[in-house]
Amino acid sequence: MIKRELRLISRKIIHLVILTSLLTGCIRYTPSREEIQERARKDGAPAAPLGTEQEFHEYEKHLEQRLNGLLSERAYLLEVSQSLTGYSLGPGDQIEVTVFGFNDLTTITEVSPSGTIHLPLVGETSVAGRDLGMVRTHLSAAYSKFIRNPKVDVAIKNAQANRVSVIGEVSKPGMYPLRRNGQLITELISEAGGRSQLGSNRLILLPAPKIGAGKPHNKPLPSSTGGVEIEMDALFGKIDTPPVLIPLLAGDTVVVPEAGKYEVDGEVEKPGSYPLSSQASVMSAIASAGGFTYSSDVKKVEVIREIGNGRKALATLDLEEVGLRGGKDIRLRSGDLIRVPSEPGLFFERQVVESLNSLFNGVSVNKPVN
């Protein structure tokens, strides 16, 4: 009877130590999202709005579809990428006009702000918005008033009109002329000096509001209402993966944002904020945070992510499945929060052991009997 009472008293002391530690913040219990929602239901309080796992993955799928739409719309540019066929002349472009057999009519001229050039015999004539083939036809008709069956050639000496912008974390942000029809986004990044040390592995292409010359289109790009996100690694390819070729159009803007950070919270050894590397995933984030504590619920690791319009969504990941059985990990984005909740049984088991150990402090210790 006395032993039973002593056991009950000991348990009460241990539970009191644990409860006191929890109330004073010495011990931090990290509830899962399910526990938070259950508590909110019991308290009759609305839970913080958070999108579902389906919304989390639908957001990623939407970004992929937007990129595929851009690739499909611009595929024709890759077919003419080695020439200036389809390049629309504009103010600032410098061209050379040659009339065969009449060397004195050969002229290098620049398209004026009003979109015209001045030529011998022909005088002032408009060329803006026309590609080279159209300009040849136009000038041949103009010279035919003075020369029988004129043979006219037009070549671009310096393309300045069709410009694209690159801003953000590159060495030389600014506006750059498209050197040729179908110039690739990788060429623009290279011309701008490449990413800075703070640059993200994801860039954003803001498509021009109007479709460029070269092929008729009846409707704008599906992505024209917003940016298209592109993995920098995909642009350059890998040993076993060909690069993704994305041609530019006049008026495009390429944004290279800062790499950003992600947060790790809960049952990890070193919770906090960490810089986002190009290959960061949930597994590597846990490793950066020193690994799991004993009380972690590794089957319910949470990833909370911005999904646009100020909304967030949550996906739950079983890292035992990922780490031990080759399950699919999640690549991280800037601003992601990784939460490792406490596993209730393990959490309180650990607290009992730690509370008992704290009670041993100051207790006299007997030496072992020889």
Residue ranges per structural domain of the chain: 17-48+260-349, 59-82+162-256, 94-158
Architecture, CATH, for domain 94-158: 2-Layer Sandwich (3.30)
Strands 107-110 and 94-99, sheet pairing: antiparallel
CATH class of the structural domain 17-48+260-349: alpha beta
**How far is the C-alpha of 23 from the C-alpha of 316, rounded, in Å?**
28
Tokens describing residue 253: 């803007």
**How far is the C-alpha of 135 from the C-alpha of 115, rounded, in Å?**
12
Q: What is the tens place of the pLDDT at every residue in 224-246?
A: 346 899 998 888 888 888 899 99
The structure's pTM equals 0.69
How does DSSP assign 64-131, residue by residue? HHHHHHHHHHHHHHHHTTTS-TTPPP-TT-EEEEEETT-GGG-EEEE--TTSEEEETTTEEEE-TT--
Tokens 């393309």 belong to 159
Asked whether this chain's domains 17-48+260-349 and 59-82+162-256 adopt the same fold, the reply is: yes
Under a CB-based contact definition with an 8 Å cutoff, are residues 262 and 338 in contact? Answer: yes
How far, rounded to the nearest angstrom, does the alpha carbon of residue 225 sit from its chain's CA centroid? 17
Its sign, for the CA torsion 75, 78, 83, 87, is positive
Architecture, CATH, for domain 59-82+162-256: Roll (3.10)
Q: Which helix (H) or strand (E) holds 344?
A: helix 344-360
Residue by residue, pLDDT tens for the chain (370 residues) are 555 554 554 555 445 444 444 444 445 777 777 777 666 676 666 656 788 889 999 999 999 999 999 999 988 888 755 555 567 788 888 999 999 999 999 999 999 988 899 999 999 999 988 888 899 999 999 999 999 899 999 998 888 878 899 999 999 999 998 877 778 999 999 999 999 988 998 999 999 875 434 443 333 333 334 689 999 888 888 888 889 999 998 889 999 999 999 999 998 989 999 999 878 899 999 999 999 888 888 889 999 999 888 888 999 999 889 888 888 999 999 999 999 998 876 655 665 555 545 555 655 444 555 5
